[in-house]
Amino acid sequence: MKKAKQTTIKLLKNLAGIALTVAIAISVYKHYEEPLVITNEKEVIIETFIGVSLEKKIEELKQEVLDDLRHEEIKGHLDADLVIVFDPKDSDDIRCRKQGNVRLYCYSFGDFNFKIATVQYYYYMFNGIDLSDTEAMNIALDPESARELAYEIIFNEVGGIWNWKNSAEKIDAGERITFIRSLEE
């Protein structure tokens, strides 16, 4: 499946390159007969070759990244499970809670394994709203809310995908997001 996605991405890159070359050649040729007006060359070119608007294809690619990330994050759990993961390796993380000298281990919640502090930080950053621990946990545990927040972090925050470093590397998210951003330009 991973190889098929890489092949699809390479095919789309090649098609976009060929289509752009053809469009430029047509534009130059037509320039001498009648002007050719293309307001959004990439979208017209891609739509011509694959029959889908560029915006729709970009959104599909983004949703695939989210689907793959979610799948990687919940490995070993049933979809119906309420995912709460004990994460002792992060106990020294400044985002984890401490009471006195006792370290409270970090827990990750939900389909995207959000830590409470991560939800609070990004929710404030994107919405300007401070969340309580309970509110943050509820967002992390709600599949739709967690997906929306993950989308915002990944596609609206430079380097946001690296909040899920291990999973991002396994699904080649960095390369895929770079390709998506190149289509958006």
Percent above pLDDT 70 for the chain: 58
pLDDT at 139: 96
Least confident of 78-87, 146-155, 159-168: 78-87
- What is the C-alpha separation between 78 and 115, in angstroms, rounded? 20
Which residues have a Cβ under 8 Å from the Cβ of 150 and sit 6 or more positions away? 66, 69, 70, 112, 114
Least confident of 21-25, 105-109, 170-174, 176-180: 21-25
What is the band of 184 on the pLDDT scale with cuts at 50, 70, 90?
A: confident
Q: Is residue 149's pLDDT more than 90? A: yes
- What is the C-alpha separation between 49 and 182, in angstroms, rounded? 18
pLDDT at 128: 96
